[in-house]
Amino acid sequence: MKKMNMQQLLACDKFEVDDEEHHIVLNKEVCRSCQAKPCIYACPAGLYTLKDGEINFDDAGCLECGTCRLICPQEGALSWHYPRGNFGVVYRYG
Amino acid sequence: MAEDKFTAIIVGAGPAGSTAAYLLAEQGIDVLLIERGETPGCKNMFGGRMYSYALHRIIPEFWEEAPLERQISREVITMLDGEKSTSISCQDENWAKPPYHSFTLLRAEFDAWLAAKAEDAGAILACGIRVDDVIMEDNRIIGIRAGDDEILADVVIAADGANSIITEKAGLRSKLSPADLATGVKEVIELPAKTIEERFNLQPDTGAAHLYAGTCTQGMSGGGFLYTNKSSISLGLVIKAAELQKNQYMLVDLIEDFKNQPSIAPLISGGEVVEYSAHLVPEAGISMAPRLFSDGILVTGDAAGFCINLGYLVRGMDLAIASGEAAAMSVVEAVKKNDFSAASLGIYTDLLVKNGVWSVMEAYRRAPQMLDTERLYTSYPTLLNNLLADMFTIDGSPPINLIDKLRQEVKNSKTSFINLAGDAWKGGRSL
């Protein structure tokens, strides 16, 4: 089977995107001071990317697993909530 | 505001929550089951198999009506090492006869079915609502808050999964540790039922469960899994979250490489990936359990850490269902006494002991530490594969007897007989 990339995998999933409210918000100040930045590797959806030395993040495509909340070493870097009711990923198989 | 108060509010319509809701509603107790997804199950994923005994105790012969995939009749564990792999396969046709030992299933359908059972029994199911907080009064939980809405209850049951917000908000545990949980990722790969039966040597209703250790996690604590559904395969990896903090590999690369392992690739060849999902898995066993009850609250399922990973098998749904059962029975007793204090709800731990959940958690208390042994993911798969591959390889060179081969491979794999003996002893004791 040909190797799939993140975009191709996430394209298999159904999402109800919330245009009004982000459920995970980063405090860029705190992220800037973080040396480790484990979110880049640990997020199963690869939503944390490095751009010009800074964390770039978009919560569209979030699988709501909570890994980032768990592994983030910086106090106060993430304001983490589940998406509002009815929004976010919609697993059709699970 | 009597009309706005329920006897029980259950947060999360997964297996624990829906089981509790079903049993409470059956007893005529007014219960509100709240789910943040637009339908129950649409936020949930797991590896792929549920052991039957717990649900059979609650809904006898549930397999007659529940949406299930295949009854497992074969267990395979495999040690992977690059080009080499060694498997142990165990088949028992009794597992595929009533009362079926275990089933593969898909959560979107299954969880919706179980929640509908609760609804049919009289529970009120409210979907599309995210519970943000609990309401406390004099240190007791008296309800929940969802956005601007407040709903009161005599008791709240937290069934909101591994990343339980309710348990934290209620002050029953501190922040979770990356050492205590793993991240699971899964792909659902569609293939015709007939192809699956041919490739896995299965009957039309029987299925196989495969677990993998070795190169699939690049030496990190964790493993791979593969479960056969009717016309799809659930394939994925579970890796300790603390290992993911080391910034070595992207999960997406690991799962894609796993699919291309020589012993996996032919099994899924030609299949179409129809879903990619991820979830946290509680892995630290009893040591990570929060306080399981307090004034006006009980904690069940993954939220309570009721999950067992022994390396060769994984249990979650059966323990979730059984803990939902114990929670419901505790509330029934509390209703009789009209006392929802911690002293009254404390019967929950007795019921967990009685119905087996606690003894399972106790019995495997040492398994998480044992599975933290790095050698299990690095030197041992290499050692085993090299030894066996060597044993089966004939190339005309002078034969070496097995003991000398073993000695040589132990040396090559940078481990020792002392480690081997120690780990075998640890393994035997903790499993």
Same domain assignment for residues B332 and B413: no
Is B375 within a domain? yes
Q: Radius of gyration over alpha carbons of chain A, in Å?
A: 14
The upper half-sphere exposure of residue B382, i.e. CA atoms within 13 Å in the direction of its Cβ, equals 16
Is B97 within a domain? no
Whether A85 and B163 lie within 8 Å, measured CB to CB: no
Whether B163 and A66 lie within 8 Å, measured CB to CB: yes
Question: pLDDT tens, B85-134?
Answer: 999 999 999 999 999 999 999 999 999 999 999 999 999 999 999 999 99
**In the predicted model, is pLDDT for residue B1 greater than 60?**
no
Query: Which residues have C-beta within 8 Å of that of residue B228, sequence separation ≥ 6?
Result: B69, B70, B104, B196, B200, B202, B207, B208, B209
Q: Based on the number of CB atoms within 10 Å of its own CB, is B205 exposed (0-12), middle (13-18) or buried (19 or more)?
A: middle
Same domain assignment for residues B217 and B271: yes
Chain A interface mutation, best of B169, B277, B302, B317, highest count of A Cβ atoms under 10 Å: B277
Is B6 within a domain? yes
Same domain assignment for residues B318 and B331: yes
| B321 in Cβ contact with B23 (< 8 Å) | no
> Which among B44, B146, B165 is the nearest to A91, CB-wise?
B44
Same domain assignment for residues B195 and B241: yes
Residue at a domain's end among B329, B355, B381: B355
Give me the pLDDT at residue B142, please.
98
Question: pLDDT tens, B41-99?
Answer: 999 999 999 999 999 999 999 999 999 999 999 999 999 999 999 999 999 999 999 99
Give me the pLDDT at residue B3, please.
53
Question: pLDDT tens, B164-190?
Answer: 999 999 999 989 999 999 999 999 999
The residue type found at A86 is N
B38 touches chain A (CB under 8 A): yes
Domain count, chain B: 3
Q: How far is CA B415 from each of CA A51, B311, B376, rounded to the nearest angstrom?
A: 42, 20, 11
CB atoms within 10 A of CB B334: 24
Return phi, psi of residue B270, to 5°: 80, -5
Chain B interface mutation, best of A7, A80, A93, highest count of B Cβ atoms under 10 Å: A93
Tokens coding B187: 């792909």
Provide, as residue numbers in chain B, all residues whose Cβ is less than 8 Å from the Cβ of A36: 245, 247
| B143 in Cβ contact with B9 (< 8 Å) | yes
DSSP state of A44: T
- CATH code of the domain covering residue B333: 3.50.50.60
Same domain assignment for residues B293 and B400: no
A77 touches chain B (CB under 8 A): no
CB atoms within 10 A of CB B350: 14
**In the predicted model, is pLDDT for residue B192 greater than 80?**
yes
B44 touches chain A (CB under 8 A): yes
DSSP state of B97: S
Chain A interface mutation, best of B68, B129, B130, highest count of A Cβ atoms under 10 Å: B130
Same domain assignment for residues B194 and B137: no
The upper half-sphere exposure of residue B119, i.e. CA atoms within 13 Å in the direction of its Cβ, equals 14
Same domain assignment for residues B274 and B191: yes
What is the average pLDDT value for chain B, to the nearest integer?
95
B129 touches chain A (CB under 8 A): yes
Q: How far is CA B126 from each of CA B18, B112, B132, B215, B295, rounded to the nearest angstrom?
A: 12, 12, 15, 44, 24
Same domain assignment for residues B236 and B209: yes
Query: Which residues have C-beta within 8 Å of that of residue B196, sequence separation ≥ 6?
Result: B202, B228, B229, B230, B231, B233
Same domain assignment for residues B212 and B316: no
CA B243/CA B249 separation, integer angstroms? 10
Whose tokens are 């339980």? That residue is: B164
Q: How confident is the model at residue B402 (pLDDT cuts 50, 70, 90)?
A: confident
Give me the pLDDT at residue B392, please.
94
Question: Per DSSP, what are the bridge partners of residue B189?
Answer: B233, B273
A64 touches chain B (CB under 8 A): yes
Same domain assignment for residues B222 and B308: no
CB atoms within 10 A of CB A94: 25
Question: pLDDT tens, B249-268?
Answer: 999 999 999 999 999 999 99
| Kind of pairing between the strands at A24-26 and A78-80 | antiparallel
| pTM of the full structure | 0.96
CB atoms within 10 A of CB B422: 13
Architecture per CATH, A28-77: 2-Layer Sandwich (3.30)
Range of the domain at B244: 181-282
Same domain assignment for residues B6 and B39: yes
Query: Which residues have C-beta within 8 Å of that of residue B291, sequence separation ≥ 6?
Result: B172, B173, B299
B111 touches chain A (CB under 8 A): yes
The pLDDT of B374-390, averaged and rounded, is 91
| B37 in Cβ contact with B185 (< 8 Å) | no
Question: pLDDT tens, A38-86?
Answer: 999 999 999 999 998 899 999 999 999 999 999 999 999 999 999 999 9
Q: Radius of gyration over alpha carbons of chain B, in Å?
A: 23
**Closest Cα in chain A, distance from residue B225 (Å):** 15
Q: Give yes or no for a cis peptide into B368 (omega within 30° of 0).
A: no
Whether B277 and A9 lie within 8 Å, measured CB to CB: no
> Which among A12, A41, A94 is the nearest to B44, CB-wise?
A94
What sign does the dihedral A46-B164-B246-B223 (CA atoms) show?
negative
Chain A interface mutation, best of B276, B283, B302, B317, highest count of A Cβ atoms under 10 Å: B276
**Closest Cα in chain B, distance from residue A93 (Å):** 5
> Which among B181, B185, B260 is the nearest to A44, CB-wise?
B185
Same domain assignment for residues B229 and B292: no
Question: pLDDT tens, B20-38?
Answer: 999 999 999 999 999 999 9
Nearest chain A residue to B48 by CA distance is: A94
CA B251/CA B389 separation, integer angstroms? 29
The number of angstroms, rounded, from the C-alpha of A85 to the middle of its chain's C-alpha atoms is 18
A16 touches chain B (CB under 8 A): yes
Whether A13 and B44 lie within 8 Å, measured CB to CB: no
Is B227 within a domain? yes
Residue at a domain's end among B308, B328, B355: B355
